Amino acid sequence: MKHLTGSDNYFEDFTPGQRIRHTLGRTVGPEHVTFTLQCMNGVPLHVNADFCATDPVATERFGGRAVVYGGYVLALVRGLASRDTSENAMAEPGFANGRHLKPVFEGDTLYAESDVIEVSPGHDPTHGLVRFLLRGINQRDEVVLEIERDVVVRRRPA
């Protein structure tokens, strides 16, 4: 497990099989509701505490607690990984094969981990493509999110 920190990571610093445990973590607070509503997502399971406390399915599956919107979880986990993986990015052309594996609740603390799946130098001498498997991990070391993430990363200046 390698700890990369800071903006000094270039294409040449990533190798297939490398695992990066990002050092930052964030506790989810009530701001997740604002983010969810700004995304025009009004699903009661994410924004209505009374619904969550009284709906039989929400009570049984989630203990009557609001579930944090998956878009917020993805944005937060991606942000936690960005200092190590994309400070020298030129583009982030895509995500693939994303899965939410466990619910996230307000008060959970999330961390990020990235496995380097593939590096492709491409034809341009200024950058290359790095494919990561990005994971979101909660304070109980449960994986809550997995997604493949492609990042076009600058090569180290000569």
Residue-wise pLDDT for 37-72, tens only, equals 999 999 999 999 999 999 999 999 999 999 999 999
145 pLDDT above the threshold of 60: yes
Contacts of 26 (CB under 8 A, 6+ apart): 76, 80, 109, 110
- Domain extent listing, the chain: 11-28+68-154
Can you give the pTM of this predicted structure?
0.92
Instruction: Name the pLDDT band for 122 (thresholds 50, 70, 90).
Output: confident
CATH of domain 11-28+68-154: 3.10.129.10
Distance CA(76)–CA(81), nearest Å, equals 9
